[in-house]
Amino acid sequence: MGPPSADGRAGIDAALVRRLIAVQFPQWSGLAVTPVEVDGWDNRTYRLGDQMTVRLPTAAGYVPAVAKESRWLPRLAPSLPLPVPVVLAEGAPGEGYPFPWSVRGWLPGRTAHAENIRDMSRFAVSVAEFLGALRRCDTTGGPHAGAHSWYRGAPPAHYDDETRRCLAALEGQVDTIRATAVWEAALAAEHTGEPVWFHGDIAFGNLLVADGELAAVIDFGTCGVGDPACDLVIAWTMFAGESRRAFRHMMDLDEGAWARARGWALWKALLTLANSIDTNPALAAVNRHVIGEVLADHGRVTGRGDQD
């Protein structure tokens, strides 16, 4: 997603949450408000007692997700094989905070990381099964991809100018010739299938693990109806080798979808690398690795790369 303004995050703290709860939901005003262990960028999240969370957008661009999740999560949840957030209440701007916000039920589990996953290939299959169930959900009246989803689910061409600026900025830092070929292949692979539900941000931070297994999927702020290729990016950001092959097999999407997915993964990795290369070596290294994996995968498809 796009970065919010810095001051959008600066004004959000536990004291603000306590004031909002006291004024708008006094029945919960006696409950403790504490930051979550792992927080996001698009929203700030706080525990409210033991059974609830409070979720506040950090900038105006993330506000459409509040009403979208409140409306659609209850409709999607019965058709999904894993728990998703349950919206309990929707708050209004107040106490100096300018955006709508929500109260949700707490979902147990820890953010997914390799060390807390029992079997990565089985985990990859579980992620694919969840996404398959999501794709099969009824799309009637669903929000078509657009600004509310940060154009996930739309053609990757929306980010063509940004990607090419990143390629120019990273000349000499990555193989821009091969990267350009990946990007142009993504642009050429037009989505011709029926629009389906997509999550839009399937990443380790939005997957919860309990007892070594996938336990819940959170943060549907970028969800919508359109091209599901954006949900394949985790193939290069989290999976590798056998787990990547298991994920690809279970997703059962055509090569065009995978070409567009490589484009989505490349765009985000190039953008993050360009923004971190001089300031955050660890983050830069992670995104160099993703770019390398995407380029190698494209090379295998085109016959110009080594096999695993």
Is 217 within the bounds of a domain? yes
Q: pLDDT class for 305, splitting at 50, 70, 90?
A: low
- Among candidate residues 107, 137, 157, the one where a domain is terminated: 107
Whether 191 and 90 map to the same domain: the answer is no
Q: What is the three-class DSSP state of 2?
A: coil
Mean pLDDT, residues 42-61 taken together: 94
pLDDT, position 2: 41
Whether 78 and 116 map to the same domain: the answer is no
Is 280 within the bounds of a domain? yes
Whether 87 and 115 map to the same domain: the answer is no
How do residues 194-245 score in pLDDT, each as one tens digit? 999 999 999 999 999 999 999 999 999 999 999 999 999 999 999 999 999 9
Fill in the DSSP letter of residue 3.
P
Q: pTM for this structure?
A: 0.92
CA angle (298, 299, 300) in 5-degree steps: 90
- Among candidate residues 107, 140, 157, the one where a domain is terminated: 107
Is 35 within the bounds of a domain? yes
pLDDT, position 10: 54
How do residues 135-153 score in pLDDT, each as one tens digit? 999 999 999 999 999 999 9
Query: What is the percentage of the chain residues whose pLDDT exceeds 70?
Result: 95
Whether 74 and 136 map to the same domain: the answer is no
Whether 194 and 268 map to the same domain: the answer is yes
- Among candidate residues 80, 107, 134, the one where a domain is terminated: 107
| CATH number where 21 lies | 3.30.200.20
User: What are the residues whose beta carbons fall under 8 Å from the beta carbon of 141, sequence distance 6 or more?
Assistant: none
Is 91 within the bounds of a domain? yes
Whether 99 and 239 map to the same domain: the answer is no
Whether 179 and 263 map to the same domain: the answer is yes
Is 1 within the bounds of a domain? no
Whether 252 and 164 map to the same domain: the answer is yes
- Domain boundaries, position 172: 111-302
Whether 241 and 177 map to the same domain: the answer is yes
How do residues 171-200 score in pLDDT, each as one tens digit? 999 999 999 999 999 999 999 999 999 999
| CATH number where 291 lies | 3.90.1200.10
Is 307 within the bounds of a domain? no
CA 206 to chain CA centroid, Å, is 7
The total number of structural domains that make up the chain: 2
Whether 223 and 268 map to the same domain: the answer is yes
pLDDT, position 37: 79
Whether 238 and 205 map to the same domain: the answer is yes
pLDDT, position 303: 72
**What's the whole-number average pLDDT of the chain?**
94
Rounded Cα distance, 31 and 143, in Å: 35
Whether 281 and 265 map to the same domain: the answer is yes
User: What are the residues whose beta carbons fall under 8 Å from the beta carbon of 153, sequence distance 6 or more?
Assistant: 144, 145, 195, 198, 200, 224, 225, 226, 227, 228, 230
Is 130 within the bounds of a domain? yes
How do residues 231-290 score in pLDDT, each as one tens digit? 999 999 999 999 999 999 999 999 999 999 999 999 999 999 999 999 999 999 999 999
Is 308 within the bounds of a domain? no
Rounded Cα distance, 279 and 102, in Å: 34
